[in-house]
């Protein structure tokens, strides 16, 4: 084996490594697409979907994420301080009264899909932060900062008892 063959082999290995890495990235992007796409079920699916949630397991100040028609929905048991703060604010660039968003002020139920490009926001003490491009939502799910244009959507919610709701029924 000559020196040039050794170099050729090293170049080949380098090329194969880069090609494999590129395929890996493309594969990951392809794998993500059905997941992201699945976060947007047809309106038909959502119209038929209902999700029952036991509120008894969600302590004051806690939040639970449930699935409704394939979408994540945040169910938040708000503290009295959070309720008072939200009552006194109209939100940011998509103004809306908290009373229009939370039928029962103690409970906020919002679809957990960022209105910018569909990422799932992370819970913070002040509301949510979308990790993709930094959109900030308050404890009423209203957009306060960042590129997202609209508030987190409020799904139809029926309070069937003190500790049970049905998402998807009004």
Q: Do 88 and 56 touch, CB atoms closer than 8 A?
A: no
Question: Residue 98 forms beta bridges with which residues?
Answer: none
CA pair distance 24, 30, nearest whole angstrom = 10
**CB nearer to ligand FES: pick between 9 and 38:** 38
Distance CA 63, CA 74 (A): 7
Q: Which residues bind ligand FES (CB under 6 A)?
A: 114, 116-119, 130, 132-135, 146-148
Q: Measured from the CB atom, is 24 or 134 closer to ligand FES?
A: 134
Q: Smallest distance, Å, CB 15 to ligand FES? A: 35
Tokens 């604010």, located at residue: 89
Q: How far is the CB of 10 from ligand FES (least distance, A)?
A: 42
Residues noted as catalytic? 133
E strands, 83-152, where? 107-111, 122-124, 127-129, 136-138, 143-145
| Minimal distance, residue 136 CB to ligand FES, in Å | 9
Tell me the CA distances in angstroms from 102 to 86, 108, 109, 135, one per residue in order. 10, 5, 7, 21
| 99 token code pair | 């009373």
| CB closer to ligand FES, 17 vs 134 | 134
Q: How far is the CB of 93 from ligand FES (least distance, A)?
A: 13
For CA atoms 157, 158, 163, 164, the dihedral sign is: negative
Beta carbon nearer to ligand FES, 57 or 70? 70
């Amino acid at each position: 084996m000559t020196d040039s063959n050794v170099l050729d082999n090293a170049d080949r290995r380098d090329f194969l490594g880069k090609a494999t890495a590129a395929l890996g990235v493309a594969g990951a992007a392809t794998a993500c697409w059905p997941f992201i796409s699945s976060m947007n079920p047809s309106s038909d699916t959502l119209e038929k979907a209902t999700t029952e949630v036991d509120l008894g397991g969600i302590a004051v100040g806690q939040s639970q994420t449930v699935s409704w028609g394939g979408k994540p929905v945040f169910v938040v048991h708000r503290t009295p301080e959070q309720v008072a703060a939200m009552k006194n604010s109209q939100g940011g660039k998509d103004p809306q009264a908290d009373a229009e968003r939370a039928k029962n002020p103690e409970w906020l139920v919002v679809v957990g899909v960022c209105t910018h490009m569909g990422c799932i926001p992370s819970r913070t003490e002040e509301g949510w932060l979308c990790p993709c491009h930094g959109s900030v939502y308050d404890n009423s799910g209203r957009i306060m900062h960042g590129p997202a244009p609209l508030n987190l959507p409020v799904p139809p919610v029926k309070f069937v008892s003190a500790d049970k709701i049905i998402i998807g029924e009004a």
